[in-house]
Amino acid sequence: MIALIQRVNWAQVHIEGSLHADIGQGLLALIGIEKDDDDRLAQKLLDKILAYRIFGDNDGKMNLDLKDIGGDLMLVSQFTLAAETEKGLRPGFSTAKPPAEAE
């Protein structure tokens, strides 16, 4: 399982032109789910994301987590994070979990 995490002031997901989800200040996490990933690994990753102290406190130090700031979390499945790019010029996705299972 691979995650790309970004702090956001707001985020939205649009599908075919319609708003599907939105959040205020918090974290946007793009998640690449691979074939061998399971619920245990997903929970471990979620716990870690929630515990990351990546928001500034009153002194400007990154000491606060998502709960401390009352922030939102948006998880977006992104199979391209599981791309195999070691060989050639065409990425492979054989390690990515099939879409129906990744949801």
The tally of domains found in the chain comes to 1
Q: What is the pLDDT of residues 42-95, one digit of tens each?
A: 999 999 999 999 999 999 999 999 999 999 999 999 988 888 888 888 788 888
Question: Could you list the residue range(s) of the whole structural domain that residue 75 is in?
Answer: 2-102
CATH code at position 54: 3.50.80.10
Q: pLDDT at position 89, please?
A: 82
Q: Which of 80, 85, 93, 95 is catalytic?
A: 80
Known active-site residue 80: yes
- Distance CA(15)–CA(28), nearest Å, equals 16
Total-model pTM:
0.83
Residues 58 and 13: their CA atoms lie apart, in Å, by 31
Told to judge if 79 belongs to the known catalytic residues of this protein, a careful annotator would answer: yes
- Give the pLDDT score at 84: 83
Catalytic residue, chosen from 25, 78, 93, 95, is 78
Within its chain, how far is the Cα of 16 from the centroid? 21
Is 21's pLDDT higher than 90?
A: yes
